[in-house]
Structure 1
Amino acid sequence: MTQTEPTDQELWAAVAAGDEAAFGTLFDRHSRAVYNHAFRLCGSWSVAEDITQATFLVAWRRRGTARLAHGTALPWLLVVAGNHARTEWRSARRRRALLGRLPAERGPDPADDVAGRLDDERAMGRILAAVRRLPRAEREAVALCLWSGVGYAEAAAALGVTEVAVRSRVSRARARLAALLGPDAEEEDR
């Protein structure tokens, strides 16, 4: 005895009674056709996936009230998918119209920010290499006073030296950095 696959009508009757496995069979049977139909209507893979999901969600919700014509679920599913595609198209059109009404002013190009950050990293790498060549006391003075904005008196208290010693260290560090980095050192070290 050969076992025949149930028809869509039989599966739909089982789905109407709450049979999730029958719904899964219907999904397996028709989801590719619904997806392909949705893709042809919208031209986007991701939107077609959304439409397919929405179509089968409607099918599940309307399982007790929807009636199949000619015993097959596919035409009904394709109509539902078409309705969702039209709704999506109208929503996208409204979003585009809204975006068209926004002021033309745009913020800075993010690529400029990335390029600036790369330039800053490159410059900082040069400065760090030069600062590492300074004596430890001068490195500490540069880190506190020039980079972190700590006042000379506060830096002196933190380092356990006099304010004059901190000023001297910063001055010597600036001179050495200028020699190590060239004419741009004064600008970069800020």
Structure 2
Amino acid sequence: MSAQADSPMDTEQTARRSIGARRNPASQEAILDAAQAVLQEGGIAGFSIEAVARRARAGKPTIYRWWPHRTALMLDVYKRFKNARSFPDSGSLREDMISFLGDHLLGFWRGSLCGTVYRAVVAEAQTDPEAAKVLKAYQGERMAHSVRMVERAKARGEVPRETDGELVIDLIVSYAWHQLLLGQVDEAMDKVPAVVDTILKGVLGYRG
């Protein structure tokens, strides 16, 4: 008689044990799926590496090797959704900024798990140097993409060549963060055009 075939559970557990220092894409996605599920079911208070390990049937050492603390794992769950959204490119800086602030930031956080997760990441970064480092690196990545909206506007002659694109993005993002941390995202949505116009006309001398 031939040997009994491995059950799907045995095969999955073997695959989990084979995870090493290098991230296996399928295993990484399985862990992120588990992390998302834990966040959705238990919220921030119920989120931990231990809870994710149980849900993913993965070893805690493996998760800690890839994500050294829970903030890094939460941020990667957040990035799965955020990175799927393309930056606006309408041909108008004002329209791009309205879309960026209203849809890409406030609208993305509004009434969603993403807003709850990002607020927790920002809060933890205030007291945890490692969390702050992870958040700073993420913000650097986002800035590199966001500032291109201003650079395109310079090329079109909408704003002066000397315009500090990073400062423009910082002003937009800072307003969004403030509203998120105060739990005022819904109210802030109505002010998006006014905020953008104040920044573009008051700070840049916008001519559009």
TM-score scaled by length of structure 2: 0.29
Q: Identify, as 1 or 2, the structure richer in helix.
A: 1
Which structure: larger Rg? 1
